[in-house]
Amino acid sequence: MPNRVSKVWFVPVERGSSKEEIAQKTLQLYQAANMSSILAQGDLVAMKMHFGERDNDGYIKPEYLQPLIKALKSKKVEPYLTDANTLYRGQRSYSVDHLMQAYAHGFGPENIGIPVIIADGIRSKSYEEVPIEGHHFQSVKIANDILHSDALLVLSHATGHASTGLGAAIKNLGMGSASRSGKQNQHSDVKPKVVRRHCRGCGLCIQWCPVDAISMVDGKAHIDEEICYGCAECTATCRFGAVVVNWEGTSQALQEKMAEYAWGVIKDKRDKVACFTYLIHVTKNCDCHGRAQRPIIDDVGILASYDPVAIDQAAVDLLAKAAKKDLFLDMWPRNDYNAQLAHAERLGMGTRQYELIEIGD
C-alpha cells in the first residue's frame, strides 16, 4: 500500500467565508469524492469528530455538517455524531457532561437532525480489545460504538498539539476513538516535571490533573511521579512554561502508539472509511483547550480522502505552502509530527504519496 498514490480532494476556503459557504464546500467534497459509493442502505455511519471543550471556539461547527448529513440521510443510512471520553478532567471526561458539552456547542438533534452517541459509555468501560500487530501493542482498546459502526466518516480539525506536534485525522482516530484506559496506555511514556523558578503558583495544572498527582508545595506546583501517568495535560495547560517533559524519544513513542490505535479502528473496515479535514481556524493547540485560541494562519480550505495518512500529509503540505514554512515543526520543534505519519504508513494504514485534486466553486 505505501507504494501507491492516494487521491486527496481539496476545496479552498477564503477568509471570512460564512458557515453556510463552508457547509456547501463540505458537500462538494463528498460529491466529488463519490463517498456515497462506500455506503449501503441501512448502514450505521459513525461521524467521528471533536465537539470542542467548553469555551473553545476552533472546533468544526455543526452548521458545516448540515448539508452533508442531509445527503447521508438521502442515501437511507443512519448517521450519528460520536466521540469518546477524554483522559483529562474537563467537560468531556464522562458521557453525561460530554453530551451536554456537545449540545452546548450546537450538536443537539434539534439542530443537526441526528443523535450524538458517546462511543465508550458513561464511564468509558464500553470498549473492545482489537488485535493488531504493532511495535508497541498487540491489541488496542477501541470504543465500541465507533468500532462496530458499518461505515466511518472521520471529521478532523487540523491543529498543533503540545504532545504530538500535529492533531488531525490520525490523532482523531487513534486518540479520539480509544477508551480512557487506551488513552492512558498511549501516554504512558510521558512524564512531566515542574521547573520551580518558572512556576507562578497559579494552580491551573492542579485543576486539570485527572489523577490528582499535583499539589502545591511552598507555593509551587509539585508532581508526584508515583501517581502521575503521563497524560501531559499539565504541560499543555501551563501558561508560563513551568511544566516540561523530556521529549527525547517520548513524543515519538506516543505518536507511534497513537497510530497503532488508529490502525485498530479502521483495519477491519478499510473500504468503508472516508475522511474530511478542515484547515480552518488552525491553532497552536488542539480543541481540548478550554479557551478561545487565535488562529495562527488564515483559513486555507477543506480536504477529503479515503486515506487518513495521505490527508494528514496533504494538510501539513498545504499549510506549509500558505505559511511559507513547516508550520507544525515551527510551533513544536521537539515534537516532530512525522513520527505518526511514518509509523502509520509502515503499518499499512495509507501512504504519504498523494494526488491533490482541487475542486472549484
Task: State residue 174's pLDDT score.
Answer: 97
Q: Is pLDDT of 83 > 70?
A: yes
Position 87 scores a pLDDT of 74
Radius of gyration, CA atoms only, the chain: 19
Eight-state DSSP code of residue 111: H
Mean pLDDT of 232-239: 76
Tens of pLDDT, residue by residue over 121-132, are 987 889 999 999
Give the pLDDT mean for 251-280.
96
Q: How far is CA 233 from CA 95, 129, 203, 285, in A?
A: 20, 25, 13, 12
pLDDT at 239: 83
Is the pLDDT at 236 greater than 70? The verdict is no
- State the pLDDT at residue 203: 94
Cα distances (Å, whole numbers) of residue 50 to 1, 68, 168, 309, 346: 29, 17, 11, 19, 26
Does 60 score more than 90 pLDDT?
yes
Q: Which tops the pLDDT comparison, 29 or 92?
A: 29
Question: CATH for 6-185+250-358, among 3.40.50.300, 3.40.640.10, 1.10.3470.10, 3.40.50.11440?
Answer: 3.40.50.11440
Break the chain into its structural domains and give their ranges.
6-185+250-358, 192-245
> Residue 313: pLDDT above 70?
yes
Residue 230 reports pLDDT greater than 80: no
pLDDT band of residue 361 (cuts 50, 70, 90) is low
CATH architecture of the domain with residue range 192-245: 2-Layer Sandwich (3.30)
Q: Determine the angle formed by the axes of helices 66-74 and 19-32, rounding to 10 degrees.
A: 40
Residue 1: predicted pLDDT: 42
Q: In the predicted model, is pLDDT for residue 118 greater than 90?
A: yes
Whether the predicted pLDDT of 3 surpasses 60: no
pLDDT higher at 90 or 237: 237
How many angstroms separate the Cα of 282 from the Cα of each of 32, 98, 146, 166? 24, 23, 26, 11
| 247: confidence class by pLDDT, cuts 50, 70, 90 | low
- Residue 360's pLDDT is 79
pLDDT band at 182 (very low <50, low <70, confident <90, very high): confident
How large is the average pLDDT for residues 1-7?
74
State the first-to-last Cα distance of the chain, in angstroms, to the nearest integer: 32
Contact in structure between 312 and 168 (CB atoms under 8 Å): yes
Residue predicted with more confidence, 180 or 133: 133
Domains 6-185+250-358 and 192-245 share a fold: no
